[in-house]
Amino acid sequence: MKNAIIILLLMLLMIGATTTSAKPKSSVKVSQNTIESLMNGLSSENLGLKSGCAYMIGELQLSKAVIPLMKILREDENDEMRIAAALALYKIGTPMAIYAVKQAIRFDESERVSRHCASFYYDFTKNKINDEEINVVVAKTALK
């Protein structure tokens, strides 16, 4: 029954997230109950629920979940779940989260997981460089 409630909550959350995707992420209000449900879902034995929670945590950029996601990335036996955790960490984007993704490139025994992590890390660094270039252009324009 508890899992059914969590699944229903996640489905409602996903529907709400898709209908409000035009809004900036900073304006999304997430209740403490939703956060707790997503965090509990990360420890589920149900792969679909677990990966769905990881996905939503990444979309909502819940930095509170970085440590549990890092544990999944390091210890989970399922490649797909480790990739889902790496994607969520990439989307969260904190220095610790990105460092975990970077380490998985070198240390994960699955070449598939390593390739996905490399792709996420490359995309993060590319976006970071583009943001820095934009800031330099803005600064030079402001100085003129």
CATH number of the domain encompassing residue 122: 1.25.10.10
More reliable by pLDDT, 137 or 98: 98
The reported pLDDT for the residue numbered 22 is: 37
Q: DSSP letters of 39-103?
A: HHHTT-S-HHHHHHHHHHHHHHT-GGGHHHHHHHHHH-S-HHHHHHHHHHHHHH--HHHHHHHHH
How many residues would you count in the chain?
144
Write down the pLDDT at residue 129.
74
**Parent domain of 101:** 2-143
Number of structural domains in the chain: 1
pLDDT at 69: 98
Average pLDDT over residues 83-104: 97
The amino acid that residue 3 corresponds to is N
31 falls in which pLDDT band (50, 70, 90)?
very high
What amino acid occupies position 100? A
pLDDT the model gives residue 128 = 78
Instruction: Determine the average pLDDT of the residues in 89-94.
Output: 97
Task: Give me the percent of the chain exceeding a pLDDT of 90.
Answer: 67
**Rounded CA gap, 66 and 58, in Å?**
10
Give the pLDDT band of residue 111 (cuts 50, 70, 90): very high
Integer angstrom CA distances of residue 51 from 17, 41, 107: 17, 9, 21
Is residue 26's pLDDT more than 60? no
Mean pLDDT of the chain: 84
